[in-house]
Amino acid sequence: MRRTAAQDEEQKREQQRQRITQARATLAKGAEAITCGQCGEANSLEAWTQRPLSGALPLGQFQCPACGYAFQRRETTPGEVWDNGRERLYIPGKIEEAACQPQM
């Protein structure tokens, strides 16, 4: 049996409703949800930093658990060290998102 365009569209809407419901449930539990800019999937930080086969991603790398879109947060301008004599603070430079190679 072939699916019609209307059935495909309804299935997409249902999947989107399920994602929204899942995101709301995640937020209701007090966990922060990260939403993918590519597919709209919302999930916890843990889901964005773990892969089923390779385990934990390198520090600063994130990957959507649904579509596999991967990115890193990179410091594009150097940070500076602030020293007042008693303590030293590192103030990071500008941080931007850069696409990277997805992992399994």
Domain boundaries, the chain: 5-99
Q: Which residue has the tokens 């049996």?
A: 1
60, 73 Cβ separation under 8 angstroms: yes
42, 33 Cβ separation under 8 angstroms: yes
| Global pTM exceeds 0.75 | no
* 7 Rama class: left (phi>0) / alpha (psi -120 to 50) / beta: alpha
Q: What is the pLDDT of residue 31?
A: 55
32, 45 Cβ separation under 8 angstroms: yes
Residue-level pLDDT, tens digit, the chain, 104 residues: 577 888 888 888 888 777 777 766 655 555 567 888 888 888 888 888 888 788 888 888 888 888 888 888 888 888 888 888 888 888 888 888 888 878 87
